[in-house]
Amino acid sequence: GNSVTQMEGPVTLSEEAFLTINCTYTATGYPSLFWYVQYPGEGLQLLLKATKADDKGSNKGFEATYRKETTSFHLEKGSVQVSDSAVYFCALSGKAAGNKLTFGGGTRVLVKP
Partner 1 sequence: DAGVIQSPRHEVTEMGQEVTLRCKPISGHDYLFWYRQTMMRGLELLIYFNNNVPIDDSGMPEDRFSAKMPNASFSTLKIQPSEPRDSAVYFCASSLDVSGGTDTQYFGPGTRLTVL
Interface residues toward partner 1, by CB under 8 A: 31-32, 34, 36, 41-46, 49, 51, 89, 93-95, 98-101, 103-106
CB of 15 to partner 1, least distance (A): 27
Other CB atoms within 10 A of residue 64 CB: 26
CB of 17 to partner 1, least distance (A): 26
Return the number of the residue (62 or 89) whose C-beta is nearest partner 1.
89
Residue 88 has phi, psi (to 5 degrees) of -110, 130
DSSP secondary structure of 21-59: E-EEEE-SS--EEEEEEE-TTS-EEEEEEE-STT-EEEE
CB of 51 to partner 1, least distance (A): 5
